[in-house]
Amino acid sequence: MTDRNVRVAQAAGEAVEDQEVEIVERKGLGHPDSICDGIAEHVSQALARAYLDRVGKVLHYNTDETQLVAGSAAPAYGGGEVVEPIYLLITGRATKEYAEIENGDVVCRHRIPTETIALEAARDYFETHFPELDFGTEVVCDVKLGEGSGDLQQVFGEDGKQVPKANDTSFGVGHAPLTETEQIVLNAERELNGAFGADQPEVGQDVKVMGKREGDRIDVTVAVAMVDAYLDSLAAYDDAVDEVRAFVADLAADYTDREVNVYVNTADDYDHGSVYLTTTGTSAEQGDDGSVGRGNRANGLITPNRSMSMEATSGKNPVNHIGKIYNLLSTEIAEAVVSEVDGIREIRVRLLSQIGQPIDDPHVADASLVTEEGVDVADIEAEVTAVIDEQLSDVTSVTERVIDGDLSTF
C-alpha cells in the first residue's frame, strides 16, 4: 500500500436505484454530437500512433474542439438526396515538427503531416460507421490544427520511463454499478446500432435513447433516424417503427422486472406525413449541429442523477490530459471496487489532479459508498482503498488502451 491520498466515506442520500425519479440519456453513434466525439477520438488515436511510429513517443496534441455544421437534405421514400453537404471542422493543436537532440545538438528533425493524418482518420471513420454518407461530397471536412510545441514533451515523461505529470488541475468522476434504467438505455442504443441495425438497414445511426423511471415504471423514448432508401411508403416506415419498439421492449426485459413502456419517434405526425425520415441516417443532414463534449460522458451515458464532469473526454491526448484519463480511470476504479469488494450497492469515485503532479498520485481519490444493509463502510474501507491504490498504480495502461481503441470515450 502506498501513501496516496485515498478517502472512503458513506455517501449522502439514497442509491440512484432507490430514488423516486431517475433520468438517463444516451446520444447514439450518429447523433451530431457523437459524430464529433467519434471523429475527434479517431483522429486522436491516429495522431498518437503516428507519433509513436515516427519518433517513438506521443507528442503534444489535442483534437477535442471538433465541430459539425448541419447540411440540408430532401428525403423521400425510395431515396432522397443531400442538397447541401454537412461541414466538419477538425480543430485543435498538434506537434508538426520534432527535433531529436543528443548532447545539445539536433541530430534529426521529423516533420509530421498532422492534417493529412487527421483527414485520413476522418475518412476512415465515416466509411466504417456511416455507409449512407459519402465523404467528400455529402460531408465536407476541413482541418485546422495549430502548432503544438515539442518542448511540451517533458510533461509526458521520457520514453515512457516516468509517470506523466498532470496537464491541469481538474477532476474526473465515475460510478458503478449501472442501474437497470442505465443498462437499458446504454444497451438499447448499442444494439440498435449493432446487430439489429445490421439486419435492418432502414434504421439509421442517429439513435437517441432517453430513459425515465418513476418508482417502478420505466419509460424509454427512442428517436431513430430512418433511412429513406430502404422504405417505400409511410406504411413501411410505420412497420419499421413498430419493429424498433418491440425490439427495445424485449431488450429491456433482460435487465428489469419493472414495468417498461417504449415510445419511438414521438414527434411523428402521420396525418400530415411528417415523420423522422432521412437520406443519410443522421439528423446532421438537416438542421442539427454538433460539438465534442456536448453528449455522453466517458461511461457512454448522460446521468443527471449522478455527479458528472463537464470535461470533453474525446480527442484529448491520452498521456497526461486529466479530462480524459481521470474520467476513464474513475469509471474503471468504480467498476473494479464493486466487482472485488462485497457489500456495496453503489460507489462514486472522484479523482482530482494538481497540475504538474504525477497522474498516479491524485490530489485526492474520493470514494463515496452506499453499502448493503448490515455493512458499515468501516468494515470494507481497507479493501476499497487497496483496490483504488492498485488501479492508480496502473494508470498509464489507460493511455495504451485508449490509443489501441480498447476504451470508449463516449
Backbone angles phi, psi at 354, to 5 degrees: -120, 130
CA angle, 249 then 251 then 256, to 5°: 85
The DSSP H or E segment spanning 146 is strand 139-147
Average pLDDT over residues 377-384: 96
- Rounded distance between C-alpha atoms, residue 363 and residue 391, angstroms: 15
CA angle, 71 then 290 then 321, to 5°: 145
pLDDT at 107: 75
Q: Where does the pLDDT of residue 30 fall: very low under 50, low under 70, confident under 90, or very high at 90 and above? A: very high
- The single-letter DSSP state of residue 340 is H
Average pLDDT taken over every residue of the chain: 94
Hunting for cell 483527414 — which residue is that?
Answer: 119
Q: Are 135 and 123 in contact (CB under 8 A)?
A: yes
Domain ranges of the chain: 6-20+169-178+295-403, 32-149, 181-291
Average pLDDT over residues 119-138: 95
- Distances in Å between the Cα of 215 and the Cα atoms of 19, 182, 220, 282, 372 are 8, 15, 14, 33, 20
- Rounded distance between C-alpha atoms, residue 210 and residue 190, angstroms: 13
Average pLDDT over residues 144-158: 60
Domains 6-20+169-178+295-403 and 32-149 share a fold: yes
- Rounded distance between C-alpha atoms, residue 396 and residue 404, angstroms: 13
Look at residues 118, 170, 139 and name the one whose alpha carbon lies nearest to residue 362.
170
pLDDT at 241: 98
Picking from 66-75, 104-113, 188-197, which range would have the lowest pLDDT averaged per residue? Answer: 104-113
Is a pLDDT exceeding 80 seen at residue 95?
yes
> Given the DSSP bridges, would you call strands 86-94 and 72-74 parallel, antiparallel or unpaired?
unpaired
Look at residues 275, 297, 290, 285 and name the one whose alpha carbon lies nearest to residue 224.
275
Average pLDDT over residues 51-61: 93
Q: Are 259 and 252 in contact (CB under 8 A)?
A: no
Is a pLDDT exceeding 60 seen at residue 212?
yes
What is the amino acid identity at position 275? V
Q: Where does the pLDDT of residue 148 fall: very low under 50, low under 70, confident under 90, or very high at 90 and above? A: low
Average pLDDT over residues 11-21: 95
**pTM for the predicted model, two decimal places:** 0.93
End-to-end Cα distance, the chain: 32
Share of the chain above pLDDT 90, in %: 91
DSSP bridge pairs for 61: 94
Q: Are 330 and 172 in contact (CB under 8 A)?
A: yes
How many C-beta neighbours within 10 Å does residue 141 have?
Answer: 20
- Distances in Å between the Cα of 277 and the Cα atoms of 78, 106, 386 are 11, 59, 52
Phi-psi region of 96 (alpha: psi -120 to 50; beta: other; left: phi over 0): alpha
DSSP bridge pairs for 227: 278
Look at residues 355, 317, 282 and name the one whose alpha carbon lies nearest to residue 75.
282
> Given the DSSP bridges, would you call strands 105-111 and 97-102 parallel, antiparallel or unpaired?
antiparallel
Distance of CA 18 to the CA centre of its chain: 26
Average pLDDT over residues 43-47: 97
Hunting for cell 482518420 — which residue is that?
Answer: 121
Q: Which cell is 109 given?
A: 528533425
- Rounded distance between C-alpha atoms, residue 314 and residue 192, angstroms: 22
Is a pLDDT exceeding 80 seen at residue 202?
yes
- Rounded distance between C-alpha atoms, residue 16 and residue 305, angstroms: 7
pLDDT at 161: 62
Share of the chain above pLDDT 70, in %: 96
pLDDT at 330: 97
Question: Which residues 6+ apart lie within 8 Å of 272 measured at CB?
Answer: none
Give strand ranges (E) for 217-376: 217-227, 259-264, 277-278, 290-291, 344-352, 364-371
Is a pLDDT exceeding 80 seen at residue 157?
no
How many C-beta neighbours within 10 Å does residue 377 have?
Answer: 18
Average pLDDT over residues 177-203: 97
DSSP bridge pairs for 101: 106
Backbone angles phi, psi at 386, to 5 degrees: -65, -40
CATH architecture of 6-20+169-178+295-403: 2-Layer Sandwich (3.30)
Average pLDDT over residues 73-78: 97
pLDDT at 324: 96
Q: Are 60 and 135 in contact (CB under 8 A)?
A: no
Is a pLDDT exceeding 90 seen at residue 287?
no
Is a pLDDT exceeding 50 seen at residue 7?
yes
CATH architecture of 32-149: 2-Layer Sandwich (3.30)
If DSSP codes are grouped into helix, strand and coil, which group holds residue 307? coil
Is a pLDDT exceeding 90 seen at residue 50?
yes
> Dihedral of CA 369/169/301/215: which sign?
positive
CATH class (in words) of the domain with range 181-291: alpha beta
Is a pLDDT exceeding 90 seen at residue 160?
no
Is a pLDDT exceeding 50 seen at residue 323?
yes
